[in-house]
Amino acid sequence: MKNIDSDTITNRGICFISLLVSGAFGFFYGIRYWENGLLGLIVGLIIGISGYFIGLVIKNSFAKLFGTLAGDHAARWNTREQLEGDMNQARHFKRNEKYTKALNTVNRIIRLDPDFPDALFLKAQILWEGFQNHNAAKSNLSKIFEMIQDENETIYQWARSLSKQIDQEIEKHENKNR
């Protein structure tokens, strides 16, 4: 048996109930007033089919209303919202100094959304903190600076701060080696 989602089950239930109720209504209406049960049944089925579509409209309206009230927007999540779980996982790996796992996770995110500034920033942090790869880290920060022109954006400020930190560390290291 193939899997059936809850929306299909609900729609079939509405169809069955509306046909049953409307058919019974039409049948008894026909017996009482037209003295011909078959004509009443036909009227009831017509009402039932109409009732089915009306029921679907009502169900979808209520679902939308209650879904909005409950904050349900899972079906309308954009790519970045869907990737946020992976971002949290990559942050967790970074915090626990599992830099290779963190880098693999953030690379997968960037493959799905190459213009995701938060992912590029996290990748720069991982490359710098975990692998001391200042060139690759600065390259990711440069992509952020290209994408975001507003210096007041938080991610831009974070990227600028990390870029300065990397420059200071490089300068300190070069002065130490002189």
Q: Where are the domains of the chain?
A: 6-75, 77-177
Q: Check: CB of residue 148 under 8 Å from CB of residue 117.
A: yes
Residue 92 has a pLDDT of 96
Q: Which two tokens stand for residue 2?
A: 């193939």
pLDDT tens for each residue of the chain, 178 residues long: 455 666 666 667 766 776 677 667 766 766 666 666 666 667 666 766 776 677 777 777 776 666 555 455 445 678 888 899 999 999 999 999 999 999 999 999 999 999 999 999 999 999 999 999 999 999 999 999 999 999 999 999 999 999 999 999 999 988 888 7
Superfamily name with CATH number, domain 77-177? Tetratricopeptide repeat domain (1.25.40.10)
Residue pair 36/30 in contact by the 8 Å Cβ criterion: yes
Secondary structure (DSSP) of 98-127: -HHHHHHHHHHHHHH-TT-HHHHHHHHHHH
